[in-house]
Amino acid sequence: MEIWLLIMVDGSGRLVPERILSLISYVPLFDALSWMRDTDPQRIFNTITQSEKCDPNGDYIRYWVPELKNLKGKAIHDPYHNMPKSEFKKLGYPEPIVDHKTARLRALFRYKNVGEKEEGA
C-alpha cells in the first residue's frame, strides 16, 4: 500500500523491505524487478542506523506509525531503547522481536560457514 501511495521509493527504501521479505520467503516479484541482484547478499542493514541516516527528523515514521508521531529526537528511531520502559509501554507499540546485534552475528556466521551448526544451536 505504502509503495503505491508514494509512487516511487529510493534505493534505501527498497533495501530494508527486500531484505526482510527475502528472509521470510523467496518472492519472485523481487527477482523480476532485480532488487535482489542489486544488493550484496552479505550486507546486513541496521534498520535503526538506516532510519537515522535517511530520515533524521523521523517524518516518514511519524506519517506511517501513528503510535510514534509525538516522539521527539532519537526516540523516534528506537523508542524501546531510548525511552524509560514505563513511558514506552504507554505508547502501545510492540517491543522489538529481534536483537539486531545477535541476528547480525548469526547471519554473518551462516554466510561464512554454510552448512555448519553454530555453537549452542
Work out the number of other CB atoms within 10 angstroms of the CB of residue 79. 20
Whether 91 is in a domain gets the answer: yes
Residue 110: what pLDDT?
A: 85
Residue 106: what pLDDT?
A: 86
Residue 86: what pLDDT?
A: 96
Residue 108: what pLDDT?
A: 86
Whether 117 is in a domain gets the answer: no
Contacts 24+ apart (CB under 8 A), 111-118: 111/41, 111/42
What is the domain count for the chain? 1
Whether 57 is in a domain gets the answer: yes
Whether 121 is in a domain gets the answer: no
Give strand ranges (E) for 21-68. none
Ranges under pLDDT 70 in the chain: 1-42, 120-121
Q: Which three cell numbers stand for residue 59?
A: 517524518
Residue range(s) defining the domain that contains residue 104: 2-112
Whether 78 is in a domain gets the answer: yes
CB–CB of 44/50 below 8 Å?
Answer: no
